[in-house]
Amino acid sequence: MLKQIAISDLQVGMFVHKFEGGWFDHPFWKSKFLVDDAEKLAAIKTSRLRAVVIDTDKGTDLTPTRSSAAPAAPQPAARSPAESRIRSITRRTAAQLDNPQPITLAQEIETAAAIAEQARERLGKTFMSARLGKALDVRKVEPVVSDILASVRRNPQAFSGLMRCKLKNEDIFRHAISVSALMVALADRMKLTGPEIHNCGLGGLLLDIGVNYLPQWADPWVGGRRQQDEPIWQSHVMLGYRALQNDDDLPQVVLDACLFHHERIDGSGYPQQCAGEDIPLVARMAALCDSFEFLLTGTARRPALDPAAAVAELRERSGAYDPEILRLFIETVGLYPVGSFVVLASRKLAMVIDEDREDTLRPVVQAFYSLEMRERIRPHRIVLAKDTDNERIVGIADLAGLDLPADAQLRELVFLSACRSAVNA
């Protein structure tokens, strides 16, 4: 029987059927579970929830008279291999993650590049195993997530900015690594626990593992991710999910990220047309991170979007995404993410090269072109939050018809030159 009770009446041994509150009022991935130890009980009682619905058929009921003696907590169950694995990773990186030293984007970029290269090598081996029909060894890519998180903690924009602006990135690896970095940054913004952040990053790396099981003649990474027929493309979700299920130690949230990341809040997604709360929280996060990165990638059907235009597109599709997670995602990447081409009030064109941690609405930009003179100008850095000339962003730039390199090439040139100038300053 289902029964709503106050948080203060919750006891060890009760089965929580539903939380009376939002996703962000409590720290749990699942809303249905047995309160089997004092740690879970304390986490619920210190949350922002005021009531829960319990299922008395699956757990203990509320007794009419409460005993003054506290109920004895059952002995904790033995840790599963997955829990032991996550604890091992958490211990290995705890000192680095608990005491991050914030640094500038330019200072972090070299380390971020090394992490990206290591991730590419590890993913390459994992993806090749998948293509050859071999069993996946997820342990080989797990350490990459801790490295990405450490980079994001030192500078939230460096790693994603590098992946967004550097041309020499193979699509299949760039997408996986970029989504992982966004998942980690978003989870960190949502103040999830260390193991939960790790699982988000791991889920991001493996979202599209099923692409490797698609017919080789329909390689979606040549000329665009989705150039083949839609039914063939959509099959990558179940192919990837089944492959990951073979790893008995893999956390369920990683499987959920893979299976549900193409579902949408309004029920318009696939493969199961899930909607609303039927979509796990990690998959709601993955839907945004994956969609954002996809919009930045050009296909045979449509050109790549500017990062700021991609954010605007997600906002227009707001009914498809969890509104609270969308808000936090935009806070994470910014209205004008690194790599966005913008028009300034002075009629200069510039590219966003870093965020301003004290004023995220006014990022750091690199000006490179004058619309008044219709010519390139000497590149120079402008910290909009501190500019005395009241310089500001007035819109997203349209570079069509200007004597400038292609967008992707220009983005890399501006980004890397800005980083070099900052290091040499």
- Extents of the domains making up the chain: 2-55, 81-333, 341-424
- pLDDT tens for 238-288 read 999 999 998 878 899 999 999 999 999 999 999 999 999 999 999 999 999
Q: What is the mean pLDDT of the chain?
A: 84
- pLDDT tens for 274-309 read 999 999 999 999 999 999 999 998 777 788 999 999
**pLDDT at site 259:** 97
For residue 83, what are the contacts with CB-CB under 8 A and spacing of at least 6? Answer: none
Closest-CA residue to 209 (of 316, 142, 129): 129
Q: Is the pLDDT of residue 92 over 50?
A: no
CA distances from 171 to 89, 174, 237, 425 (A): 28, 5, 18, 33
**pLDDT at site 182:** 97
Place of tokens 């705890």: 94
**pLDDT at site 305:** 95
CATH code of the domain occupying 81-333: 1.10.3210.10
Query: Hey, which bits of 205-347 come out as E strands?
Result: 341-344
Q: Is the pLDDT of residue 201 over 90?
A: yes
Question: How far is it between the farthest Cα atoms of the chain?
Answer: 82
Q: Is the pLDDT of residue 1 over 90?
A: no
Query: Hey, which bits of 51-201 come out as E strands?
Result: 51-55
The model's pTM: 0.77
Q: Chain-centre distance of CA 146, in angstroms?
A: 14
DSSP H or E stretch at residue 196: helix 194-206
Phi, psi of 18 (to 5 degrees): -160, 145
pLDDT band at 223 (very low <50, low <70, confident <90, very high): very low
- pLDDT tens for 275-284 read 999 999 999 9
pLDDT band at 62 (very low <50, low <70, confident <90, very high): confident
In contact, 279 and 263? CB cutoff 8 Å: yes
